[in-house]
């Protein structure tokens, strides 16, 4: 009986964090003003919107290429069609479905149902996440100039902002430190195949470059400018902060982080930052929509075998 009534604090924290983050986002939106925010969005031209949509699918295909490459580490042939639909199904679960079941869980379940060995599927997903984190970690130095300038001007910004930064950035540091430790702990399997690892990292760089260009195109479309290296640094901070497990799939948390980082450290107007955050959420959802055609069949167990099953 006790087991049935046990409180799932992790789930409660995630839902509470999600609601709190969304609440903060709504508050910021009201403070900035809907009219000013909408005015910033309306400045984006049609060609910029088309370029963003093209880049988001390049980003999605790069994440597929990264995982598909990592799946080739053993003598098991995984069809590109299978890994592609699993990738998009996972993206759909992460960016569209309001569920605590993440995209990695969907990919793992689908991979096993398709006949990919359970150990290979699980290990490849860990490696896929760690390669992505490694790529983002390499971008963190680009955030140092903006962060240093912000901390030097802490007295001018205000005590509350400085106090927030005091707890904010050590959290990011600890997250990156923990990620680095996991990289060395779990990469031994792939270190024996450095070429595959290098190819996966190359796909990560393509994925990241697409994201950075999306941000730059949107910001310039709203009448402001920001250097690409600064975007890389600020987005890497956003990435690691969004990994903190206090919301469902980073919902709300990512938007609040983008709004604050790109305003405080990036020098953008608050209306531009919050517009950027909301537009990016919509863009990620649009780029994940093809997964809607696959997620039902994958979770329902339909699919062709993709490799040898483990005993």
Residue 190 lies in a domain: yes
At residue 89, the pLDDT reads 86
Mean pLDDT of the 112-132 span:
82
pLDDT in tens, 184-236: 555 566 667 778 888 999 999 999 999 999 999 999 999 999 999 999 999 99
In a domain, 177, yes or no: yes
On whether residue 2 sits in a domain, the answer given is: no
Work out the mean pLDDT of the chain and round it to a whole number: 77
pLDDT value at 44 more than 50: yes
Fill in the DSSP letter of residue 74.
S
Residue 226 three-state SS? coil
- For residue 166, is it within any domain? yes
Tell me, yes or no, whether 1 lies in a domain: no
Per DSSP, helices labelled H in 187-243 are 188-191, 194-221, 228-242
Q: Does any domain span residue 311?
A: no
DSSP code at position 73: G
Q: How many domains does the chain have?
A: 1
Which residue has 């994958």 as its token pair?
A: 298
What pTM did the predictor assign?
0.78
User: CA 3 → CA 6, 12, 13, 252, 269, distances in Å?
Assistant: 5, 17, 19, 31, 50
pLDDT at 187: 58
| Domain contains 52 | yes
Mean pLDDT of 156-168: 45
* DSSP 8-state secondary structure symbol assigned to residue 265: T
The confidence score (pLDDT) of residue 207 equals 97
C-alpha dist (Å) from residue 301 to 1, 119, 295, 297: 33, 19, 10, 6
89 in a structural domain = yes
pLDDT digits (tens, 9 = 90+) for 247-289: 666 677 888 889 889 998 999 998 889 889 888 988 888 888 8
- Domain encompassing residue 40: 9-299
pLDDT of residue 309: 33
**What's the confidence (pLDDT) of residue 18?**
59
């Amino acid at each position: 009986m006790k087991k049935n009534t046990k409180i799932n604090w992790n789930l409660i924290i995630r839902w509470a964090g999600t609601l709190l983050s969304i609440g903060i986002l709504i508050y910021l939106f009201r403070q900035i003003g809907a009219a000013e925010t909408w005015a910033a969005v309306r400045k984006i031209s049609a060609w910029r919107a088309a370029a963003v949509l093209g880049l988001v699918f390049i980003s999605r295909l790069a994440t597929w290429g990264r995982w598909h490459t990592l799946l080739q580490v053993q003598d098991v042939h995984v069809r590109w069609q299978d890994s592609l639909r699993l990738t998009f199904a996972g993206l759909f679960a992460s960016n569209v479905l309001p569920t605590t079941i993440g995209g990695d869980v969907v990919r793992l379940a689908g991979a096993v149902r398709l006949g990919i060995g359970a150990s290979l599927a699980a290990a490849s997903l860990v490696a896929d996440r760690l390669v992505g984190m490694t790529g983002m970690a390499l971008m963190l130095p680009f955030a140092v100039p903006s962060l240093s300038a912000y901390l030097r001007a802490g007295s001018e910004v205000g005590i509350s902002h400085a106090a927030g930064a005091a707890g904010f950035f050590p959290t990011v540091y600890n997250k990156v430190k923990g990620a680095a430790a996991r990289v060395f702990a779990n990469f031994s399997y792939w270190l024996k195949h450095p070429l595959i690892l290098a190819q996966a990292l190359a796909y990560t760089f393509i994925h990241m470059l697409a994201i950075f260009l999306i941000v730059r195109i949107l910001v310039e479309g709203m009448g402001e400018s920001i250097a690409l290296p600064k975007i890389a640094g600020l987005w890497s901070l956003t990435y690691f902060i969004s990994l903190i497990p206090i919301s469902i799939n980073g919902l709300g948390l990512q938007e609040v982080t983008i709004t604050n980082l790109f305003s405080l450290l990036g020098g953008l107007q608050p209306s531009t930052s919050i517009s950027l955050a909301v537009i990016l959420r919509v863009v990620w959802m649009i780029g994940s929509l093809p997964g809607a055609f696959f997620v039902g069949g994958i979770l329902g167990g339909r699919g062709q075998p993709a490799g040898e099953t483990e005993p």
